[in-house]
Amino acid sequence: MGWANYHRSNAASRVFAYLDSVLYWQLRRWARRRHPNQGRKWVKVRYWHTVGRRHWVFGVKQAGKVILKLIKFSDMSIRRHNKVRGHKSWYDGDWPYWAARRGKHPMVNTREATLLKRQHGRCPICRGLFDLHDSIERDHVRPMASGGLDVYDNLQVVHPTCHHRKTRWDKQGWCPVRPWRGETAGEALCESKGSGTVLKAGGSP
């Protein structure tokens, strides 16, 4: 579905529906060739199933349950690309605007976009705004090895270098830094550590 994801920002609904139709007929011809001695009804029951309110879902069924199904092109929702405002410029210094756009870009996955919007385009470790060309990494505020969960409430996006700093903090203890919620407990916890290898949020070693 990489091709469909690439074109989801265009007016592609009709094209996706057409491709679903083409794929269906190709699969139907393949199934008939694979089982030349079986009837159409047998082939339909073997390969096409009902999932929820959707019929003719191509997949694998075992013990009365569909365990694998083929994704359709039309399953990819259309996500419009927001054009840059006419008076905006990359060199105007309005980094909050450009960082916020990072969360709206069609090539950013849903999780990263949600976290970027929640963090107002800022890295919670260095407090700097994300540049459009910056690499971003997802980080668990409380490491999963320490009992943290892989849920939005325990996720944040950070710069790669900040991710390394956060990893060093995790080795010394849990340092939750979530400034978009007004929390300062993480800074206090890190500052309370006596080890010289612990970094303060936004500071230097």
Alpha helices in 35-87 (DSSP H): 40-47
CATH of the domain at 188: 1.10.30
Q: Both 9 and 38 in a single domain?
A: yes
94: helix, coil or strand?
coil
- How far apart CA 77 and CA 126 sit, in angstroms, is 35
Q: Are residues 115 and 60 in the same domain?
A: no
Task: Name the residue with higher pLDDT: 103 or 117.
Answer: 117
Residue 126 has which token pair? 């260095």
Q: Are 176 and 187 in contact (CB under 8 A)?
A: no
- Asked whether residue 85 is assigned to any structural domain, the reply reads no
- 161 vs 105, more confident: 161
Q: Which domain holds residue 27?
A: 2-75
The amino acid occupying position 7 is H
Strand-pairing partners, residue 156, are 139
Residues 135-180 have pLDDT tens digits of 889 998 888 888 888 888 889 989 999 898 888 888 876 555 554 4
Contacts 24+ apart (CB under 8 A), 15-24: 15/73, 16/72, 16/73, 16/74, 16/76, 17/73, 17/74, 19/73, 20/72, 20/73, 20/74, 23/70, 23/72, 23/73, 24/56, 24/58
**Sign of the C-alpha dihedral, residues 18, 21, 26, 27?**
positive
What is the C-alpha separation between 9 and 81, in angstroms, rounded? 6
pTM confidence score:
0.47
Highest mean pLDDT of the ranges 26-35, 130-139, 181-190, 191-200:
26-35
Place of tokens 């939005």: 152
Predicted local distance difference test score (pLDDT) of residue 197: 35
- Of 46, 75, 104, at which residue does a domain stop? 75
Residues 188 and 101 in one domain: yes
26-85 per-position pLDDT tens digit: 999 999 999 999 999 999 999 999 988 888 999 998 888 888 999 899 888 887 777 787
